[in-house]
Amino acid sequence: MCTEFSDVSYVKELKKVTSDLIKTKVTCQQYKMGEENINLTIKEQKFQELQERLKMELELNKKINEEITHIQKEKQASNHKIFWKPVNILKTNTIWEAIINSFQQLQQLLQQQAQANAEMEAELKVLKEIIRIYICVYIYTLERDNELQREKVKENEEKFLNLQNEHEKALGTWKKHVEELNGEINEIKNELSSFKETHTKLQEHYDKLCDQKKFEEDKKFQEDINYSL
């Protein structure tokens, strides 16, 4: 019963390790971690070794159960013969020697099984530690990638804010220049309007002077004509 319970325990343990290994392999395929990745080939070899050891242990348990069954049958047969027939000392000694040898072999098998169980437990512990380290490295790498991503996002946000500030500053400067140019244009327009007004007044004054001069010349010419007559 102990050996069967041990088998079930190891089968459960192997299933758990298998599940962890599959998850780890899938995670590794999704996230290539470069030099920080643990060699999955080693894990697969360890897993295969555990499967082989489990197979050997099952065979060993089978042999033990067969040996126990054989001993029980021999013991029952011996008891039956002793109960119904006179005791044969030589045959009885032979049977007991066989029983003792069988128990010694059983003890050796149990020792081998205990040693195999200890080795399997140690290897399972190592494999668990490898998976734990890999998961820790993966989590650390993922957190590091997230931190780098956050820093990159923050840097992009700062760049955007700087560009936005520069744009607003340049836009303000441009509007100021436009206002200054509009002011200068208005001043030029006012000056042109003033020049036009002055030119009109001067033109009118010049026309008056020309008319007056022509009138005086005509008058003088008329006087000269009258004087000559």
Task: Take residue 172 and report the two structure tokens written for it.
Answer: 């303000």
Give the CA dihedral 75, 80, 83, 89, nearest 10 degrees.
-50
pLDDT beyond 60 at 3? no
Say if 204 falls within a structural domain.
no
On whether residue 228 sits in a domain, the answer given is: no
Q: Tell me if 46 is assigned to some domain.
A: yes
In a domain, 209, yes or no: no
Tell me if 105 is assigned to some domain: yes
Residue 176: predicted pLDDT: 92
Residue 29 lies in a domain: yes
149-165 pLDDT per residue, tens? 889 888 888 888 888 88
Full residue range of the structural domain in which residue 8 is found: 2-170
- pLDDT, residue 21, reads 58
Total domain count, the chain: 1
- Token digits for 19? 């599940």
pLDDT attached to residue 5: 41
Mean pLDDT of the chain: 73
User: pLDDT band for position 179 (50/70/90)?
Assistant: very high
pLDDT (0 to 100) of residue 2: 42
When mean pLDDT is compared over 54-63, 124-133, 182-191, the highest value belongs to 182-191
Average pLDDT of 88-117? Answer: 67
Question: For a pLDDT cut of 70, what percent of the chain falls above it?
Answer: 59
Does 41 fall in a domain? yes
Q: Give the burial class of 76: count Cβ atoms within 10 A of its Cβ; 0-12 exposed, 13-18 middle, 19 or more buried.
A: exposed
58 closest CA partner among 6, 14, 125, 111: 6
